[in-house]
Amino acid sequence: MTVPSQQPVLFLGVDGGGTGCRARIVDIDGNVVGEGLSGPATTRLGVAEAWASLMRAWGAAAEEAGLDPAHAPTVHAGIGIAGVSRAGSLAELKALAHPFASTSFISDGACACLGAHSGRDGAIVIAGTGSIGLAFIGGKELRAGGYGFPISDEGSGADLGLKAIQLALRAHDGRRDKTALLAEVMNRFDNSPGEVVGWMDRATATDYATLAPMVLRHADQGDAAARFIVQMAAEQIDALVRRMVELGAQLVTLLGGLSGPIEPWLSPDVRRRLKPADGDAVSGSIILARRAAGMAA
């Protein structure tokens, strides 16, 4: 593709997740020239819908930057997208017609890892609605967990919610002591196991995760069941961090909505391994775009 010499080379970074999509355009010096937002961009919704959302975010960023579609051939795009590891998804994405000088795809988690460590070797553990450990070591992407709730995502917000409901039902049956947390959980369902079962039939991981703040609040107040649940979650996050270290990561960044509340519960050796993120997932996707263009991050 021929790029007109009078048009500057630009880099587009996109972080496409299950709740929304963010795009950022930077110039060759890293200066932000435009940003845009759109709705969910995950292959779970279908590749075509995910791509449409990505393009809406790009369009919003281009509009803010004062660009028209004719500038697309000067843009190198790095795109992180949730669910890219689903069978066939990457091939479908690569087969789509795109307007950019180059387009590189990677998971949204991998982009977060690149951004967290400025493209250098390192790892992240995400503790949010779900959980996963992900690292780049010697240019190789490595991972642990993150296979989806309820079969995986240990230590996540969804996992906290699931454990709370399980214990609440046991307490309702008299199989364990009732605590303030477990009583509050059952009160949400009018103290009816049947209501719990009906809710379960349609509940998503996000629905389970809505119970996580309640669990954390009761844990801070000393509730025995809540403390048990949070400690179990912390042990799972500990295990993910330690696995990243075993794989060769010297430092690990803890990310996700549960990262702040869970950190005080982690083991001392794990907390010593943690470092703040250098940048976000969009920063990581820009690093990907620059690499694809043969330029240093």
Evaluate if residue 6 carries a pLDDT over 70. no
C-alpha closest to that of 146 among 135, 137, 161, 138: 135
Looking at residues 3-16, what average pLDDT do you find? 80
* Longest Cα separation, the chain: 76
Looking at residues 257-281, what average pLDDT do you find? 97
Looking at residues 115-124, what average pLDDT do you find? 97
pLDDT at residue 4, as a whole number: 46
Q: Which residues pair with 252 in a beta bridge?
A: 123, 274
Chain centroid to CA 13: how far?
A: 16
Tokens of 293: 């263009």
Evaluate if residue 12 carries a pLDDT over 60. yes
pLDDT at residue 267, as a whole number: 98
How far is 25 from 13, CA to CA, in rounded Å? 6
For residues 240 and 145, the answer to whether their CB atoms sit within 8 Å is yes
Looking at residues 65-86, what average pLDDT do you find? 88
- What percentage of the chain has pLDDT greater than the value 90? 86
pLDDT digits (tens, 9 = 90+) for 222-245: 999 999 999 999 999 999 999 999
DSSP H or E run through 38: strand 32-38
Looking at residues 254-282, what average pLDDT do you find? 97
Using pLDDT thresholds of 50, 70 and 90, give the confidence band for residue 297.
low
Evaluate if residue 105 carries a pLDDT over 90. yes
Scanning the chain, the segments in alpha helix (DSSP H) are: 47-65, 89-95, 108-116, 157-173, 180-188, 193-202, 205-209, 212-220, 224-246, 259-262, 268-271, 281-292
pLDDT digits (tens, 9 = 90+) for 126-180: 999 999 999 999 989 999 999 889 999 999 999 999 999 999 999 999 999 999 9
For residues 253 and 276, the answer to whether their CB atoms sit within 8 Å is yes
Evaluate if residue 8 carries a pLDDT over 90. no
Looking at residues 261-271, what average pLDDT do you find? 98
What domains can be seen in the chain, in order of their start residue? 10-118+279-292 (3.30.420.40), 157-271 (3.30.420.40)
pTM here is: 0.88
C-alpha closest to that of 287 among 146, 64, 70, 78: 78
pLDDT at residue 45, as a whole number: 86
Evaluate if residue 38 carries a pLDDT over 70. yes
How far is 215 from 230, CA to CA, in rounded Å? 7
Mean pLDDT, the chain, rounded, equals 94
Looking at residues 68-92, what average pLDDT do you find? 88
Using pLDDT thresholds of 50, 70 and 90, give the confidence band for residue 275.
very high
How far is 178 from 168, CA to CA, in rounded Å? 8
